């Protein structure tokens, strides 16, 4: 068996897309707030909250749609709590974001134990998995069928979300306001627009997207809740939008790249190659790209 044919097989690409879904949702959420002038380093915590709350709602109702909606609603609530501090009180956003991360991890672990009496991981037959979509015709095409057919509904939702956000951000008034809130908030305010309101709207969409990313993990990718199951994906998503300069299109490709690295690394483990170096890649590339772009900007400003 040739190593390369295993690594670059249709299965690897299918895995790439599966791993890209949660990253894409969360990174897009980060793009929106970043463009609106808010840096939320609490993506990881919010994602975990969505992951848990949606799973719990799904457990109590045995309905995956309720699970998705609950994940979105609860994550929006916490995003607004973050907004209360950052937008209203004008708190230090790094500190408030850290609070979200600590809160997300602590609250979900606490509730897992007090609500379900378990530690570690939890699964139950009452929980319904979000269905996958098998594409007619396409599924019989060799490579393409393996890659595209059988992906979760949320995979297609994430693609639609990307398109909608690109359209919203660059073609609508709201998108213009959001970008202005990030670039020149005073100009926006003097044009008579309520900057706080724009930021809250961005935060609501931010929460919805992150909730989707979270719920995909616990009832799409797996049908199981595991303590701290986001496992740094919130930070990889942050790396992705930092890499993508908070542009949705570029962020989309960054997500695909990072997901591909992850898929490749889990394949490489079959051959006994440790995954630790692959785990570092998204962070390392992001630091490198940030350093290069910041350096260029600095030079440009000096000229």
What are the residues binding other proteins (CB under 8 A)?
Answer: 39, 41, 81, 85, 89-92, 94-96, 98-99, 101-103, 105-107, 109-110, 113-114, 232, 235, 238-239, 242, 274, 276-277, 279-280, 283-284, 286-287, 290-292, 294-295, 297-298
Minimal distance, residue 183 CB to other proteins, in Å: 16
- Residue number, 41 or 217, with CB nearest to other proteins: 41
If the CB atoms of residues 17 and 236 are measured against other proteins, the closer one turns out to be: 236
Nearer to other proteins, 90 or 173 (CB): 90
Nearer to other proteins, 207 or 220 (CB): 207
How far are the Cα atoms of 77, 216, 221 from residue 64, in angstroms, in the given order?
20, 10, 13
Least distance (Å) from other proteins to the CB of residue 54? 20
CB of 277 to other proteins, least distance (A): 7
Q: Tell the residue number behind the tokens 């930092």, with chain if given.
A: 242
Q: In the complex, what is the shortest distance from the CB of residue 32 to other proteins, in angstroms, rounded to a whole number?
A: 17
In angstroms, give the least distance from the CB of 246 to other proteins: 12
Q: Would you give the distance in Å from CA 284 to the centre of its chain?
A: 19
Q: How far is CA 15 from CA 45, 79, 96, 264, in A?
A: 24, 30, 34, 9
Residue with smaller CB distance to other proteins, 113 or 128: 113
């Amino acid at each position: 068996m040739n190593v390369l044919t295993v690594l670059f097989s249709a299965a690897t690409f299918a895995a790439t897309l599966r791993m890209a879904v949660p990253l894409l949702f969360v990174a897009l959420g980060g793009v929106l707030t970043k463009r609106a002038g808010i840096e939320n380093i609490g993506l990881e915590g919010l994602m975990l909250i969505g992951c848990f709350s949606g799973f719990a709602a799904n457990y109590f109702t045995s309905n995956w749609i309720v699970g998705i909606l609950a994940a979105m609603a609860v994550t929006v609530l916490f995003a607004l709590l973050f907004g209360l501090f950052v937008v209203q009180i004008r708190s230090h956003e790094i500190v408030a974001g850290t609070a979200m991360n600590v809160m997300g991890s602590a609250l979900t672990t606490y509730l897992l134990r007090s609500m379900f009496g378990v530690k570690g991981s939890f699964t139950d037959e009452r929980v319904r998995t979000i269905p996958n979509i098998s594409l007619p015709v396409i599924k019989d095409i060799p490579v393409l069928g393996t890659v595209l057919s059988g992906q979760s509904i949320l995979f297609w939702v994430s693609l639609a979300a990307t398109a909608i956000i690109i359209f919203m951000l660059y073609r609508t008034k709201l998108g213009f306001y959001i970008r202005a809130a990030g670039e020149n908030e005073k100009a926006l305010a003097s044009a008579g627009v309520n900057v706080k309101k724009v930021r809250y709207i961005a935060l609501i969409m931010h929460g919805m997207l992150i909730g989707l990313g979270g719920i995909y993990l616990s009832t799409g990718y797996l049908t199981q809740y595991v303590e701290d199951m986001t496992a740094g994906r919130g930070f990889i998503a942050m790396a992705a939008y930092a890499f993508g300069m908070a542009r949705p299109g570029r962020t989309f490709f960054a997500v695909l790249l990072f997901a591909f690295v992850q898929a490749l690394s889990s394949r490489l483990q079959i051959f006994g190659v440790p995954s630790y170096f692959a785990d570092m890649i998204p962070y390392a590339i992001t630091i490198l790209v940030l350093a290069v772009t910041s350096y260029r900007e600095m030079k440009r400003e000096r000229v």
